[in-house]
Chains A and B, each alone.
Chain A
Protein backbone atom coordinates (compact mmCIF):
# COMPACT_ATOMS: atom_id res chain seq x y z
CA UNK A 1 0.00 0.00 0.00
CA UNK A 2 1.38 3.35 -1.06
CA UNK A 3 1.11 6.47 1.06
CA UNK A 4 1.64 9.96 -0.29
CA UNK A 5 3.89 12.10 1.91
CA UNK A 6 2.59 15.67 1.58
CA UNK A 7 5.81 17.57 2.32
CA UNK A 8 8.30 15.17 0.73
CA UNK A 9 5.84 15.10 -2.21
CA UNK A 10 6.45 11.50 -2.99
CA UNK A 11 4.61 8.26 -2.65
CA UNK A 12 6.17 5.50 -0.55
CA UNK A 13 5.18 2.02 0.51
CA UNK A 14 3.77 2.25 4.02
CA UNK A 15 5.06 -1.24 4.91
CA UNK A 16 8.59 -0.25 3.94
CA UNK A 17 8.30 2.82 6.19
CA UNK A 18 6.94 0.67 9.02
CA UNK A 19 9.78 -1.83 8.59
CA UNK A 20 12.35 0.97 8.66
CA UNK A 21 10.82 2.64 11.71
CA UNK A 22 10.37 -0.68 13.50
CA UNK A 23 13.88 -1.86 12.66
CA UNK A 24 15.54 1.31 13.90
CA UNK A 25 13.22 1.31 16.94
CA UNK A 26 14.30 -2.26 17.68
CA UNK A 27 17.98 -1.29 17.51
CA UNK A 28 17.46 1.81 19.64
CA UNK A 29 15.61 -0.26 22.24
CA UNK A 30 18.31 -2.92 22.18
CA UNK A 31 21.26 -0.54 22.36
CA UNK A 32 19.63 2.20 24.40
CA UNK A 33 20.40 4.86 21.79
CA UNK A 34 18.14 7.39 20.08
CA UNK A 35 18.39 5.95 16.61
CA UNK A 36 18.32 9.26 14.72
CA UNK A 37 21.80 8.64 13.36
CA UNK A 38 20.53 5.38 11.79
CA UNK A 39 17.06 6.57 10.74
CA UNK A 40 18.18 9.68 8.83
CA UNK A 41 20.68 7.81 6.60
CA UNK A 42 18.13 5.02 6.06
CA UNK A 43 15.53 7.54 4.88
CA UNK A 44 18.12 9.07 2.54
CA UNK A 45 19.04 5.63 1.16
CA UNK A 46 15.29 5.00 0.61
CA UNK A 47 15.03 8.09 -1.59
CA UNK A 48 13.69 10.75 0.79
CA UNK A 49 15.42 14.07 0.02
CA UNK A 50 18.19 14.51 2.65
CA UNK A 51 16.90 17.90 3.84
CA UNK A 52 13.46 16.42 4.52
CA UNK A 53 14.95 13.33 6.19
CA UNK A 54 16.93 15.52 8.62
CA UNK A 55 14.09 17.89 9.55
CA UNK A 56 11.54 15.08 9.89
CA UNK A 57 13.90 13.06 12.09
CA UNK A 58 14.30 16.02 14.43
CA UNK A 59 10.51 15.97 14.81
CA UNK A 60 10.42 12.21 15.41
CA UNK A 61 13.17 12.36 18.05
CA UNK A 62 11.19 14.98 19.99
CA UNK A 63 8.48 12.34 20.44
CA UNK A 64 10.90 9.51 21.16
CA UNK A 65 12.81 11.45 23.82
CA UNK A 66 9.85 13.02 25.64
CA UNK A 67 8.52 9.69 26.91
CA UNK A 68 12.01 8.71 28.06
CA UNK A 69 12.45 12.07 29.76
CA UNK A 70 9.15 11.65 31.65
CA UNK A 71 10.16 8.16 32.79
CA UNK A 72 13.45 9.55 34.20
CA UNK A 73 11.64 12.48 35.77
CA UNK A 74 9.45 10.04 37.76
CA UNK A 75 12.65 8.38 39.05
CA UNK A 76 14.10 11.82 39.87
CA UNK A 77 16.78 11.21 37.25
CA UNK A 78 16.90 14.71 35.78
CA UNK A 79 19.04 17.64 36.89
CA UNK A 80 16.68 20.37 35.71
CA UNK A 81 19.06 23.25 36.37
CA UNK A 82 21.77 21.60 34.28
CA UNK A 83 19.08 20.66 31.75
CA UNK A 84 18.05 24.29 31.26
CA UNK A 85 21.66 25.45 30.89
CA UNK A 86 22.19 22.76 28.25
CA UNK A 87 18.92 23.75 26.53
CA UNK A 88 20.06 27.38 26.48
CA UNK A 89 23.18 26.32 24.62
CA UNK A 90 21.14 23.91 22.51
CA UNK A 91 18.74 26.57 21.26
CA UNK A 92 21.64 28.83 20.25
CA UNK A 93 23.13 25.80 18.48
CA UNK A 94 19.95 24.89 16.59
CA UNK A 95 19.56 28.52 15.54
CA UNK A 96 23.00 28.56 13.92
CA UNK A 97 22.62 25.01 12.64
CA UNK A 98 19.32 25.84 10.94
CA UNK A 99 20.87 29.03 9.50
CA UNK A 100 23.77 27.05 7.98
CA UNK A 101 21.27 24.44 6.76
CA UNK A 102 19.05 27.06 5.06
CA UNK A 103 22.03 28.79 3.44
CA UNK A 104 23.53 25.56 2.11
CA UNK A 105 20.11 24.43 0.87
CA UNK A 106 19.81 27.64 -1.14
CA UNK A 107 23.16 27.04 -2.85
CA UNK A 108 22.52 23.31 -3.36
CA UNK A 109 25.13 22.01 -0.93
CA UNK A 110 22.94 20.80 1.93
CA UNK A 111 23.01 17.14 0.82
CA UNK A 112 26.79 17.22 0.72
CA UNK A 113 27.00 18.74 4.20
CA UNK A 114 24.63 16.10 5.61
CA UNK A 115 26.67 13.27 4.04
CA UNK A 116 29.99 14.72 5.16
CA UNK A 117 28.83 15.27 8.75
CA UNK A 118 27.55 11.70 8.88
CA UNK A 119 30.78 10.28 7.52
CA UNK A 120 32.88 12.29 10.01
CA UNK A 121 30.70 11.70 13.08
CA UNK A 122 29.70 8.11 12.43
CA UNK A 123 33.26 7.26 11.42
CA UNK A 124 34.86 8.68 14.55
CA UNK A 125 32.19 7.58 17.04
CA UNK A 126 31.84 4.12 15.47
CA UNK A 127 35.63 3.71 15.37
CA UNK A 128 36.04 4.77 19.00
CA UNK A 129 33.24 2.49 20.16
CA UNK A 130 34.67 -0.40 18.21
CA UNK A 131 38.20 -0.02 19.62
CA UNK A 132 36.83 0.52 23.14
CA UNK A 133 34.59 -2.55 23.10
CA UNK A 134 37.30 -4.78 21.60
CA UNK A 135 39.65 -3.60 24.35
CA UNK A 136 37.17 -4.29 27.13
CA UNK A 137 36.44 -7.76 25.73
CA UNK A 138 40.19 -8.49 25.66
CA UNK A 139 40.54 -7.15 29.20
CA UNK A 140 37.68 -9.30 30.41
CA UNK A 141 39.35 -12.37 28.86
CA UNK A 142 42.73 -11.68 30.48
CA UNK A 143 41.00 -11.01 33.79
CA UNK A 144 42.32 -7.47 34.27
CA UNK A 145 40.38 -5.07 36.42
CA UNK A 146 40.09 -1.48 35.30
CA UNK A 147 41.34 0.87 37.96
CA UNK A 148 38.98 3.70 38.73
CA UNK A 149 41.03 6.85 39.10
CA UNK A 150 39.97 9.93 41.02
CA UNK A 151 39.14 12.67 38.63
CA UNK A 152 41.87 15.16 37.98
CA UNK A 153 41.44 18.89 38.12
CA UNK A 154 41.58 20.19 34.56
CA UNK A 155 41.40 23.51 32.70
CA UNK A 156 37.61 23.12 32.72
CA UNK A 157 37.56 23.78 36.46
CA UNK A 158 39.41 27.06 35.89
CA UNK A 159 36.69 28.59 33.68
CA UNK A 160 34.71 31.56 35.05
CA UNK A 161 30.89 31.99 35.57
CA UNK A 162 30.54 29.14 38.02
CA UNK A 163 27.15 27.89 39.03
CA UNK A 164 26.00 25.41 41.64
CA UNK A 165 24.06 22.37 40.47
CA UNK A 166 22.58 20.79 43.62
CA UNK A 167 21.13 17.74 41.96
CA UNK A 168 24.46 16.80 40.38
CA UNK A 169 26.40 18.00 43.44
CA UNK A 170 28.64 20.16 41.27
CA UNK A 171 29.97 23.67 41.25
CA UNK A 172 31.22 24.33 37.75
CA UNK A 173 31.45 27.00 35.08
CA UNK A 174 28.39 27.27 32.79
CA UNK A 175 30.62 27.82 29.74
CA UNK A 176 31.29 24.13 29.19
CA UNK A 177 27.64 22.94 29.46
CA UNK A 178 26.52 25.78 27.15
CA UNK A 179 29.22 24.86 24.63
CA UNK A 180 28.26 21.16 24.73
CA UNK A 181 24.57 22.06 24.44
CA UNK A 182 25.32 24.31 21.47
CA UNK A 183 27.34 21.62 19.68
CA UNK A 184 24.50 19.14 20.14
CA UNK A 185 22.05 21.78 18.91
CA UNK A 186 24.03 22.32 15.71
CA UNK A 187 24.12 18.55 15.13
CA UNK A 188 20.37 18.22 15.76
CA UNK A 189 19.67 20.90 13.16
CA UNK A 190 22.06 19.73 10.45
CA UNK A 191 22.05 15.96 10.97
CA UNK A 192 18.61 15.17 12.37
CA UNK A 193 20.01 13.40 15.41
CA UNK A 194 19.27 13.80 19.10
CA UNK A 195 22.97 13.97 19.81
CA UNK A 196 22.86 11.59 22.77
CA UNK A 197 25.96 9.88 21.44
CA UNK A 198 27.92 13.14 21.96
CA UNK A 199 25.99 14.42 24.96
CA UNK A 200 26.24 11.38 27.23
CA UNK A 201 30.03 10.91 26.94
CA UNK A 202 30.53 14.69 27.23
CA UNK A 203 28.47 14.82 30.43
CA UNK A 204 30.36 11.88 31.93
CA UNK A 205 33.92 12.66 30.85
CA UNK A 206 33.95 16.45 30.51
CA UNK A 207 31.42 17.63 33.10
CA UNK A 208 31.87 14.64 35.45
CA UNK A 209 28.16 14.49 36.20
CA UNK A 210 26.89 11.63 38.37
CA UNK A 211 25.77 8.77 36.10
CA UNK A 212 22.28 8.52 37.66
CA UNK A 213 21.24 11.89 36.19
CA UNK A 214 23.17 11.74 32.89
CA UNK A 215 20.66 9.86 30.69
CA UNK A 216 17.58 11.63 32.08
CA UNK A 217 19.11 15.10 31.74
CA UNK A 218 20.31 14.33 28.24
CA UNK A 219 16.82 13.12 27.18
CA UNK A 220 15.30 16.23 28.76
CA UNK A 221 17.66 18.45 26.76
CA UNK A 222 17.17 16.46 23.52
CA UNK A 223 13.38 16.89 23.73
CA UNK A 224 13.70 20.67 23.73
CA UNK A 225 16.57 20.92 21.29
CA UNK A 226 14.94 18.71 18.63
CA UNK A 227 11.68 20.63 19.16
CA UNK A 228 13.61 23.82 18.49
CA UNK A 229 15.20 22.28 15.36
CA UNK A 230 11.73 21.14 14.18
CA UNK A 231 10.37 24.65 14.62
CA UNK A 232 13.28 26.36 12.84
CA UNK A 233 13.22 23.94 9.89
CA UNK A 234 9.46 24.47 9.59
CA UNK A 235 9.98 28.22 9.39
CA UNK A 236 13.08 28.32 7.20
CA UNK A 237 12.72 25.52 4.71
CA UNK A 238 9.29 23.82 5.24
CA UNK A 239 11.00 20.43 5.31
CA UNK A 240 9.25 18.77 8.29
CA UNK A 241 6.94 16.01 7.06
CA UNK A 242 4.55 15.31 9.94
CA UNK A 243 2.94 12.32 8.19
CA UNK A 244 6.32 10.64 7.71
CA UNK A 245 7.35 11.44 11.29
CA UNK A 246 4.17 9.95 12.77
CA UNK A 247 4.44 6.71 10.73
CA UNK A 248 8.09 6.21 11.71
CA UNK A 249 7.33 7.09 15.29
CA UNK A 250 4.53 4.58 15.76
CA UNK A 251 6.64 1.83 14.19
CA UNK A 252 9.67 2.79 16.28
CA UNK A 253 7.72 2.61 19.55
CA UNK A 254 6.72 -0.99 18.86
CA UNK A 255 10.21 -1.93 17.65
CA UNK A 256 11.82 -0.39 20.72
CA UNK A 257 9.73 -2.52 23.12
CA UNK A 258 10.92 -5.69 21.41
CA UNK A 259 14.48 -4.35 21.28
CA UNK A 260 14.60 -3.78 25.03
CA UNK A 261 13.66 -7.43 25.67
CA UNK A 262 16.29 -8.76 23.25
CA UNK A 263 18.91 -6.31 24.49
CA UNK A 264 18.51 -7.54 28.07
CA UNK A 265 19.71 -10.99 26.97
CA UNK A 266 22.96 -9.77 25.42
CA UNK A 267 26.16 -8.69 27.16
CA UNK A 268 27.18 -5.04 27.24
CA UNK A 269 30.38 -5.52 25.25
CA UNK A 270 28.62 -7.60 22.60
CA UNK A 271 25.96 -4.93 22.24
CA UNK A 272 28.54 -2.18 21.91
CA UNK A 273 30.56 -4.05 19.30
CA UNK A 274 27.34 -4.75 17.32
CA UNK A 275 26.32 -1.13 17.50
CA UNK A 276 29.79 0.01 16.47
CA UNK A 277 29.59 -2.36 13.50
CA UNK A 278 26.23 -0.92 12.41
CA UNK A 279 27.46 2.65 12.75
CA UNK A 280 30.54 1.87 10.66
CA UNK A 281 28.45 0.18 7.94
CA UNK A 282 26.18 3.22 7.61
CA UNK A 283 29.27 5.46 7.57
CA UNK A 284 30.91 3.33 4.87
CA UNK A 285 27.78 3.46 2.68
CA UNK A 286 27.62 7.26 3.03
CA UNK A 287 31.32 7.59 2.19
CA UNK A 288 30.97 5.19 -0.74
CA UNK A 289 28.17 7.31 -2.25
CA UNK A 290 30.36 10.41 -2.01
CA UNK A 291 33.44 8.85 -3.57
CA UNK A 292 32.01 6.72 -6.37
CA UNK A 293 31.09 8.54 -9.56
CA UNK A 294 27.28 8.88 -9.56
CA UNK A 295 25.37 7.48 -12.53
CA UNK A 296 23.72 10.84 -13.02
CA UNK A 297 25.93 13.89 -12.54
CA UNK A 298 23.07 16.36 -12.81
CA UNK A 299 20.37 17.02 -10.24
CA UNK A 300 17.29 19.16 -10.57
CA UNK A 301 15.55 21.12 -7.86
CA UNK A 302 13.00 23.87 -7.51
CA UNK A 303 14.24 27.44 -7.29
CA UNK A 304 14.61 28.52 -3.67
CA UNK A 305 12.35 31.44 -2.96
CA UNK A 306 14.21 34.31 -1.31
CA UNK A 307 13.12 35.24 2.18
CA UNK A 308 11.90 31.78 3.14
Chain B
Protein backbone atom coordinates (compact mmCIF):
# COMPACT_ATOMS: atom_id res chain seq x y z
CA UNK B 1 0.00 0.00 0.00
CA UNK B 2 2.85 2.40 -0.73
CA UNK B 3 0.57 4.26 -3.06
CA UNK B 4 -1.96 4.69 -0.30
CA UNK B 5 0.63 6.06 2.12
CA UNK B 6 1.61 8.58 -0.50
CA UNK B 7 -1.99 9.61 -0.91
CA UNK B 8 -2.48 10.02 2.80
CA UNK B 9 0.58 12.21 2.98
CA UNK B 10 -0.71 14.25 0.08
CA UNK B 11 -4.13 14.71 1.57
CA UNK B 12 -2.65 15.53 4.93
CA UNK B 13 -0.53 18.18 3.25
CA UNK B 14 -3.74 19.50 1.73
CA UNK B 15 -5.26 19.66 5.16
CA UNK B 16 -2.33 21.60 6.59
CA UNK B 17 -2.64 24.17 3.81
CA UNK B 18 -6.38 24.47 4.34
CA UNK B 19 -6.24 24.74 8.10
CA UNK B 20 -3.75 27.59 7.86
CA UNK B 21 -6.37 29.65 6.01
CA UNK B 22 -8.82 31.75 7.97
CA UNK B 23 -11.85 29.45 7.63
CA UNK B 24 -15.46 30.49 7.89
CA UNK B 25 -17.18 27.37 6.60
CA UNK B 26 -16.20 23.81 5.85
CA UNK B 27 -14.12 23.18 2.81
CA UNK B 28 -13.75 19.89 1.04
CA UNK B 29 -10.72 18.71 -0.87
CA UNK B 30 -11.05 15.50 -2.82
CA UNK B 31 -9.09 13.60 -5.39
CA UNK B 32 -8.89 10.22 -7.08
CA UNK B 33 -5.88 7.94 -7.13
CA UNK B 34 -6.27 7.90 -10.93
CA UNK B 35 -8.14 10.24 -13.27
CA UNK B 36 -8.08 7.88 -16.20
CA UNK B 37 -8.87 4.17 -16.20
CA UNK B 38 -7.39 2.48 -19.21
CA UNK B 39 -8.92 -0.68 -20.56
CA UNK B 40 -6.14 -2.79 -22.02
CA UNK B 41 -5.98 -6.40 -23.16
CA UNK B 42 -5.36 -7.66 -19.63
CA UNK B 43 -8.10 -5.50 -18.13
CA UNK B 44 -10.14 -7.48 -15.62
CA UNK B 45 -11.63 -4.68 -13.58
CA UNK B 46 -10.05 -1.94 -11.57
CA UNK B 47 -9.93 -0.47 -8.11
CA UNK B 48 -9.75 3.21 -7.40
CA UNK B 49 -9.21 5.21 -4.27
CA UNK B 50 -11.23 8.34 -3.68
CA UNK B 51 -9.75 10.38 -0.87
CA UNK B 52 -9.77 13.84 0.60
CA UNK B 53 -9.85 16.10 3.59
CA UNK B 54 -12.49 18.10 5.43
CA UNK B 55 -11.53 21.52 6.63
CA UNK B 56 -13.64 22.16 9.71
CA UNK B 57 -15.68 25.21 10.34
CA UNK B 58 -14.46 27.67 13.02
CA UNK B 59 -11.26 25.78 13.68
CA UNK B 60 -9.69 28.49 15.77
CA UNK B 61 -12.48 28.67 18.32
CA UNK B 62 -12.52 24.96 19.11
CA UNK B 63 -10.01 23.58 21.50
CA UNK B 64 -8.17 20.53 20.45
CA UNK B 65 -9.84 18.11 22.90
CA UNK B 66 -13.30 19.19 21.75
CA UNK B 67 -12.63 18.07 18.20
CA UNK B 68 -12.63 14.43 19.13
CA UNK B 69 -15.80 14.84 21.23
CA UNK B 70 -17.61 16.37 18.30
CA UNK B 71 -16.51 13.34 16.35
CA UNK B 72 -19.56 12.15 14.43
CA UNK B 73 -20.74 15.58 13.33
CA UNK B 74 -19.89 14.87 9.72
CA UNK B 75 -20.98 12.19 7.35
CA UNK B 76 -19.67 11.69 3.87
CA UNK B 77 -21.39 10.30 0.80
CA UNK B 78 -19.46 9.32 -2.28
CA UNK B 79 -21.14 8.83 -5.67
CA UNK B 80 -19.34 7.76 -8.82
CA UNK B 81 -21.38 7.52 -12.02
CA UNK B 82 -20.88 7.42 -15.75
CA UNK B 83 -22.46 10.00 -18.03
CA UNK B 84 -26.12 9.15 -18.62
CA UNK B 85 -27.08 7.16 -21.68
CA UNK B 86 -30.23 5.52 -23.05
CA UNK B 87 -30.79 1.83 -22.42
CA UNK B 88 -33.38 -0.59 -23.71
CA UNK B 89 -34.89 -2.99 -21.23
CA UNK B 90 -36.90 -5.97 -22.40
CA UNK B 91 -39.16 -8.32 -20.51
CA UNK B 92 -39.51 -11.99 -21.43
CA UNK B 93 -42.94 -13.57 -21.51
CA UNK B 94 -44.08 -17.16 -21.79
CA UNK B 95 -45.47 -17.48 -25.32
CA UNK B 96 -46.22 -20.80 -27.02
CA UNK B 97 -44.11 -22.70 -24.50
CA UNK B 98 -40.96 -20.63 -24.83
CA UNK B 99 -39.68 -17.43 -23.22
CA UNK B 100 -39.67 -14.55 -25.65
CA UNK B 101 -38.75 -10.84 -25.30
CA UNK B 102 -42.07 -9.04 -25.43
CA UNK B 103 -42.58 -5.69 -23.76
CA UNK B 104 -39.74 -3.19 -23.92
CA UNK B 105 -39.01 0.29 -22.66
CA UNK B 106 -36.30 2.74 -23.62
CA UNK B 107 -35.01 4.27 -20.42
CA UNK B 108 -33.66 7.77 -20.91
CA UNK B 109 -30.57 9.24 -19.27
CA UNK B 110 -29.62 6.26 -17.16
CA UNK B 111 -26.10 5.95 -15.75
CA UNK B 112 -24.33 2.88 -17.08
CA UNK B 113 -22.36 2.78 -13.84
CA UNK B 114 -23.49 4.08 -10.45
CA UNK B 115 -21.77 3.44 -7.16
CA UNK B 116 -22.77 5.07 -3.91
CA UNK B 117 -20.93 4.71 -0.64
CA UNK B 118 -21.25 6.46 2.71
CA UNK B 119 -19.96 6.52 6.25
CA UNK B 120 -23.25 5.14 7.61
CA UNK B 121 -26.54 3.97 6.06
CA UNK B 122 -28.08 7.05 4.40
CA UNK B 123 -31.35 6.79 6.32
CA UNK B 124 -29.48 7.27 9.60
CA UNK B 125 -28.34 10.80 8.79
CA UNK B 126 -30.26 12.07 5.78
CA UNK B 127 -34.01 12.50 5.46
CA UNK B 128 -35.85 10.81 2.59
CA UNK B 129 -36.69 14.22 1.09
CA UNK B 130 -33.05 15.27 0.88
CA UNK B 131 -32.07 11.90 -0.60
CA UNK B 132 -34.72 12.29 -3.30
CA UNK B 133 -33.86 15.94 -3.93
CA UNK B 134 -30.21 15.13 -4.60
CA UNK B 135 -30.95 11.80 -6.28
CA UNK B 136 -28.82 9.88 -3.81
CA UNK B 137 -29.19 6.11 -3.64
CA UNK B 138 -30.25 3.61 -6.29
CA UNK B 139 -33.96 3.93 -5.51
CA UNK B 140 -33.81 7.71 -5.79
CA UNK B 141 -32.38 7.72 -9.31
CA UNK B 142 -34.71 9.24 -11.87
CA UNK B 143 -35.31 6.45 -14.34
CA UNK B 144 -38.04 7.23 -16.86
CA UNK B 145 -39.02 6.15 -20.36
CA UNK B 146 -39.34 8.36 -23.45
CA UNK B 147 -42.63 9.79 -22.17
CA UNK B 148 -41.10 10.71 -18.85
CA UNK B 149 -43.08 8.04 -17.01
CA UNK B 150 -41.45 6.02 -14.31
CA UNK B 151 -42.51 2.38 -14.53
CA UNK B 152 -41.65 0.81 -11.21
CA UNK B 153 -41.34 -2.76 -12.55
CA UNK B 154 -38.81 -1.75 -15.20
CA UNK B 155 -36.91 0.56 -12.88
CA UNK B 156 -36.56 -2.20 -10.28
CA UNK B 157 -35.53 -4.67 -13.00
CA UNK B 158 -32.87 -2.31 -14.33
CA UNK B 159 -31.40 -1.77 -10.86
CA UNK B 160 -31.46 -5.52 -10.14
CA UNK B 161 -29.76 -6.35 -13.45
CA UNK B 162 -27.12 -3.69 -13.03
CA UNK B 163 -26.38 -4.81 -9.46
CA UNK B 164 -25.92 -8.36 -10.73
CA UNK B 165 -23.45 -7.13 -13.34
CA UNK B 166 -21.56 -5.20 -10.65
CA UNK B 167 -22.32 -1.92 -12.44
CA UNK B 168 -24.55 -0.55 -9.70
CA UNK B 169 -23.36 -0.77 -6.12
CA UNK B 170 -24.83 0.61 -2.93
CA UNK B 171 -22.96 0.26 0.34
CA UNK B 172 -22.48 2.03 3.62
CA UNK B 173 -19.60 2.02 6.05
CA UNK B 174 -17.15 1.90 3.14
CA UNK B 175 -16.20 5.56 3.42
CA UNK B 176 -13.61 5.61 6.15
CA UNK B 177 -12.94 8.82 8.04
CA UNK B 178 -9.66 9.14 9.84
CA UNK B 179 -9.17 11.60 12.70
CA UNK B 180 -12.33 13.41 11.55
CA UNK B 181 -10.28 15.05 8.85
CA UNK B 182 -9.17 12.60 6.24
CA UNK B 183 -11.46 10.27 4.42
CA UNK B 184 -11.11 7.61 1.81
CA UNK B 185 -13.31 5.21 -0.12
CA UNK B 186 -12.23 2.28 -2.21
CA UNK B 187 -14.24 1.86 -5.42
CA UNK B 188 -14.50 -1.31 -7.47
CA UNK B 189 -14.95 -1.18 -11.23
CA UNK B 190 -15.88 -4.41 -13.03
CA UNK B 191 -14.39 -5.35 -16.39
CA UNK B 192 -17.69 -4.71 -18.18
CA UNK B 193 -17.79 -1.04 -17.16
CA UNK B 194 -18.87 1.34 -19.90
CA UNK B 195 -16.28 3.63 -21.44
CA UNK B 196 -16.73 7.38 -21.32
CA UNK B 197 -16.76 10.28 -18.91
CA UNK B 198 -17.47 9.67 -15.26
CA UNK B 199 -17.96 12.01 -12.37
CA UNK B 200 -17.10 11.39 -8.74
CA UNK B 201 -19.14 13.47 -6.30
CA UNK B 202 -18.38 13.80 -2.62
CA UNK B 203 -21.09 15.17 -0.31
CA UNK B 204 -20.38 16.44 3.16
CA UNK B 205 -23.38 16.13 5.49
CA UNK B 206 -23.91 17.80 8.85
CA UNK B 207 -27.13 17.88 10.88
CA UNK B 208 -29.08 16.24 8.07
CA UNK B 209 -28.03 18.84 5.50
CA UNK B 210 -25.66 18.55 2.58
CA UNK B 211 -23.35 21.44 3.24
CA UNK B 212 -20.80 20.98 0.49
CA UNK B 213 -20.41 18.84 -2.54
CA UNK B 214 -17.34 18.53 -4.66
CA UNK B 215 -16.95 16.95 -8.08
CA UNK B 216 -13.94 15.26 -9.68
CA UNK B 217 -13.88 13.99 -13.27
CA UNK B 218 -12.83 10.54 -14.30
CA UNK B 219 -12.30 9.15 -17.77
CA UNK B 220 -12.65 5.48 -18.66
CA UNK B 221 -11.19 4.70 -22.03
CA UNK B 222 -9.87 1.82 -24.06
CA UNK B 223 -6.17 1.98 -24.76
CA UNK B 224 -3.68 0.38 -27.04
CA UNK B 225 -4.77 -2.32 -29.45
CA UNK B 226 -8.23 -2.61 -27.81
CA UNK B 227 -8.98 1.03 -28.48
CA UNK B 228 -7.67 0.73 -32.01
CA UNK B 229 -9.78 -2.35 -32.82
CA UNK B 230 -12.93 -0.94 -31.25
CA UNK B 231 -12.65 2.43 -32.97
CA UNK B 232 -11.71 0.84 -36.27
CA UNK B 233 -14.78 -1.44 -36.13
CA UNK B 234 -17.15 1.41 -35.31
CA UNK B 235 -15.70 4.19 -37.44
CA UNK B 236 -14.67 2.31 -40.60
CA UNK B 237 -16.92 -0.78 -40.72
CA UNK B 238 -16.18 -1.71 -44.38
CA UNK B 239 -12.41 -1.59 -43.86
CA UNK B 240 -12.73 -3.45 -40.58
CA UNK B 241 -14.73 -6.16 -42.37
CA UNK B 242 -12.05 -6.46 -45.04
CA UNK B 243 -9.34 -6.54 -42.38
CA UNK B 244 -11.17 -9.33 -40.53
CA UNK B 245 -11.39 -11.37 -43.74
CA UNK B 246 -7.75 -10.68 -44.59
CA UNK B 247 -6.58 -11.75 -41.11
CA UNK B 248 -8.69 -14.93 -41.29
CA UNK B 249 -7.45 -15.88 -44.77
CA UNK B 250 -3.79 -15.21 -43.91
CA UNK B 251 -3.93 -17.24 -40.71
CA UNK B 252 -5.90 -19.99 -42.45
CA UNK B 253 -3.35 -20.25 -45.26
CA UNK B 254 -0.40 -20.02 -42.90
CA UNK B 255 -1.65 -22.70 -40.49
CA UNK B 256 -2.58 -24.91 -43.44
CA UNK B 257 0.98 -24.53 -44.70
CA UNK B 258 2.50 -25.29 -41.29
CA UNK B 259 0.23 -28.29 -40.72
CA UNK B 260 1.27 -29.68 -44.12
CA UNK B 261 4.96 -29.29 -43.25
CA UNK B 262 4.56 -31.07 -39.91
CA UNK B 263 2.45 -34.04 -41.02
What are the residues of chain B within 8 A of A238 when measuring CB–CB? 233-234, 237, 240
Query: A158 within 8 Å of B by Cβ?
Result: no
The total of Cβ contacts below 8 Å across the A-B interface reads 182
Query: B132 within 8 Å of A by Cβ?
Result: no
What are the residues of chain B within 8 A of A298 when measuring CB–CB? 89-92, 154, 157-158, 160-161
Contact between chains at A291 and B244 (CB < 8 Å)? no
Contact between chains at B99 and A303 (CB < 8 Å)? no
Contact between chains at B245 and A227 (CB < 8 Å)? yes
Among B91, B230, B241, B255, the residue within 8 A (CB) of A7 is B230
What are the residues of chain A within 8 A of B73 when measuring CB–CB? none
Query: From residue B86, how far is it (CB to closest CB) to chain A in Å?
Result: 5
Contact between chains at B248 and A249 (CB < 8 Å)? yes
Nearest CB in chain B to that of A243: its residue: B229
Query: A63 within 8 Å of B by Cβ?
Result: yes
Nearest CB in chain B to that of A2: its residue: B44
Query: From residue A65, how far is it (CB to closest CB) to chain B in Å?
Result: 7
Segment at the B interface, from A127-135, A146-154, A172-180, A229-237:
A229-237
Q: Of residues B40, B85, B97, B244, which shows the largest number of chain A Cβ atoms within 10 Å of its Cβ? A: B244
Query: B191 within 8 Å of A by Cβ?
Result: yes
Query: A64 within 8 Å of B by Cβ?
Result: yes
Query: From residue B183, how far is it (CB to closest CB) to chain A in Å?
Result: 31
Contact between chains at A3 and B41 (CB < 8 Å)? yes
A300-B162 contact in complex given A59-B248, A108-B101, C-beta closer than 8 Å = yes
What are the residues of chain B within 8 A of A246 when measuring CB–CB? 247, 251
Contact between chains at A67 and B158 (CB < 8 Å)? no
What are the residues of chain A within 8 A of B244 when measuring CB–CB? 59, 230-231, 234, 240, 242, 245
Nearest CB in chain B to that of A61: its residue: B248
Contact between chains at A303 and B106 (CB < 8 Å)? yes
What are the residues of chain A within 8 A of B230 when measuring CB–CB? 6-7, 9
Query: B184 within 8 Å of A by Cβ?
Result: no
The CA of A301 and the CA of B86, in the complex, are separated in Å by: 9
What are the residues of chain B within 8 A of A165 when measuring CB–CB? none
Contact between chains at B253 and A70 (CB < 8 Å)? yes
Contact between chains at A63 and B241 (CB < 8 Å)? no
A3-B42 contact in complex given A62-B245, A70-B253, A300-B161, C-beta closer than 8 Å = yes
Q: Write out, one digit per residue, whether chain B residues 141-157 have a CB within 8 A of any chain A CB (1) or not (0).
A: 00000000000001001
What are the residues of chain A within 8 A of B262 when measuring CB–CB? 257
A218-262 contacts to B, CB under 8 A, are 223, 227, 230-236, 238, 240, 242-243, 245-246, 249-250, 253, 257
Query: From residue B111, how far is it (CB to closest CB) to chain A in Å?
Result: 12
What are the residues of chain A within 8 A of B161 when measuring CB–CB? 296, 298-300
Contact between chains at A2 and B256 (CB < 8 Å)? no
What are the residues of chain A within 8 A of B40 when measuring CB–CB? 4
Contact between chains at A290 and B237 (CB < 8 Å)? no
What are the residues of chain A within 8 A of B44 when measuring CB–CB? 2, 4, 11
Contact between chains at A303 and B87 (CB < 8 Å)? yes
Contact between chains at A4 and B226 (CB < 8 Å)? yes
Query: A156 within 8 Å of B by Cβ?
Result: no
A10-B191 contact in complex given A1-B42, A67-B255, A249-B248, C-beta closer than 8 Å = yes
Query: B94 within 8 Å of A by Cβ?
Result: yes
What are the residues of chain A within 8 A of B237 when measuring CB–CB? 234-236, 238
Query: From residue B172, how far is it (CB to closest CB) to chain A in Å?
Result: 26
Among B88, B191, B260, the residue within 8 A (CB) of A301 is B88
Query: B4 within 8 Å of A by Cβ?
Result: no
Residues of A within 8 A of B (CB): 1-4, 6-7, 9-11, 59-60, 62-68, 70-71, 108-109, 111-112, 223, 227, 230-236, 238, 240, 242-243, 245-246, 249-250, 253, 257, 290-294, 296-304
List 17 other contacts, CB 8 Å, given A11-B45, A66-B248, A297-B157: A9-B230, A59-B248, A60-B248, A66-B253, A67-B253, A67-B257, A108-B101, A227-B245, A227-B248, A230-B244, A238-B234, A243-B41, A246-B247, A257-B262, A294-B92, A299-B89, A299-B101
Closest 6 CB pairs of A and B: A67-B256, A234-B241, A63-B252, A11-B191, A298-B157, A66-B252
Residues of B within 8 A of A (CB): 39-45, 85-94, 97-101, 104, 106, 154, 157-158, 160-162, 164, 191-192, 222, 225-227, 229-230, 233-234, 237-238, 240-245, 247-249, 251-253, 255-257, 259-260, 262-263
Q: What would 13 A/B residue contacts be, using CB atoms closer than 8 Å?
A: A4-B42, A6-B227, A11-B191, A59-B245, A62-B252, A66-B249, A230-B241, A230-B245, A290-B99, A297-B99, A299-B90, A299-B161, A302-B87
